[in-house]
Amino acid sequence: MSFEVAVSRMIGDTHITCSFTAKPGLTALYGPSGAGKTSILNMVSGLLKPDRGRIVVGGEVLFDSEAGTDVPVQLRRAGYVFQDARLFPHLRVRANLAYGLRQGGLMSLDDVVAFLGIGHLLDRWPRSLSGGEAQRVAIGRALLSDPRFLLMDEPLSSLDRARREEVMRTIERLRDELCLPVLYVSHERSEVERLAGTIIEI
C-alpha cells in the first residue's frame, strides 16, 4: 500500500480526524472547503504534527505517536505542490527549478524539462507565466527534490478550463509514467474521479 494514515488533531475548536489505507497510485482526499484536507496533507508532510496517530508511506513509518516516531520534514522526502505555485519571483524559471535540486535523484533537470515540456520557459520570469505554466514549473521543482511521494493541494483550483486540462494531463503522466505515490486534495468530484485510483471522502 502507498498510504496508511490514521491521525487526529485539534486545531482551534475543530477536531480533524482521518483514517484510510490506499493502494499505489494517486489517492484523492475529497470534500468541501474547510473539511481539513490540507491539514491532513500537512500532517503527512510533517509540517503539522498530529495529536495522535500513525502515518506510513510506501512501507516507511513517518509518524507513530505510540512509538514516539516523528521523522523530520526534510527526511520524509515529500514533493509538495501547493494551490498557488509559490515560485520565487526574483528567480527565473531555470533557477526556480534548480533551487531544491538533489544530485543523483529521481530525475535530472534535463529529464524534468523534457517530461513537462517546459524548455521554452527556462529563461522567463515567474510573473510572465500563465497559471498552467507556473504549476508545471512547480511540479518540476517538486520532482527535482528527489521525492519518495508527492503531495498536491488543489493544484487546479486557480486555473481556467484550458489551463486545468493542460495540468490535468501532466498529473496523469506523473501517475502513469513515474509511478510515484500521490496524495491529492480537491473539492471537485469530476477531477478526482478522473485522476484517482482511491478516493477518500473527508
Question: What is the rounded distance in angstroms from the CA atom of residue 74 to the CA atom of residue 71?
Answer: 8
Specify the CATH class of 3-201 in words: alpha beta
- Other CB atoms within a 10 A radius of the CB of residue 153 amount to 20
Q: Averaged over 135-164, what is the pLDDT?
A: 91
Euclidean distance between CA atoms 9 and 17, whole angstroms: 6
* 39, pLDDT greater than 90: yes
What is the spatial order of strands in the sheet that 69-70 belongs to? 14-22, 3-11, 52-57, 60-64, 69-70
Write out the H or E segment, with its range, that includes residue 86. Answer: none
Residue 124 banded pLDDT, cuts 50, 70, 90: very high
User: Do the beta carbons of residue 96 and residue 145 sit within 8 Å?
Assistant: no
Q: With left for phi above 0 and alpha for psi between -120 and 50, is residue 69 left, alpha or beta?
A: beta
What is the number of other CB atoms lying within 10 angstroms of the CB of residue 146?
16
- Kindly report the average pLDDT of the chain as a whole number: 93
DSSP state of 68: T
In angstroms, the Cα distances linking 49 to 4, 30, 129, 151 are 16, 21, 35, 16
What confidence tens digit (pLDDT) does each residue in 42-81 have?
999 999 999 999 999 999 999 999 999 999 999 999 999 9
Q: Domain-by-domain residue ranges, the chain?
A: 3-201
What pLDDT does 1 receive?
A: 66
Element (H, E) at 15: strand 14-22
Q: What integer pLDDT is reported at residue 120 of this predicted model?
A: 96
pLDDT digits 0-9 by tens, 8-22: 999 988 999 999 999
Sign of CA dihedral 154, 157, 158, 160: positive
Instruction: Output the pLDDT for position 37.
Output: 94
Which pLDDT band holds residue 106 (cuts at 50, 70, 90)?
confident
- Nine cell digits for residue 48: 503539522
Q: pLDDT value at position 61?
A: 97
Cβ–Cβ under 8 Å, residues 200 and 29 = yes
Q: Is 180 left (phi over 0), alpha (psi -120 to 50) or beta?
A: beta
Task: Please state the separation of Cα 17 from the chain's center in Å.
Answer: 20
Question: Which pLDDT band holds residue 163 (cuts at 50, 70, 90)?
Answer: confident
Can you give the pLDDT at residue 158? 78
- State the Cα–Cα distance between residues 40 and 16, nearest whole angstrom: 8
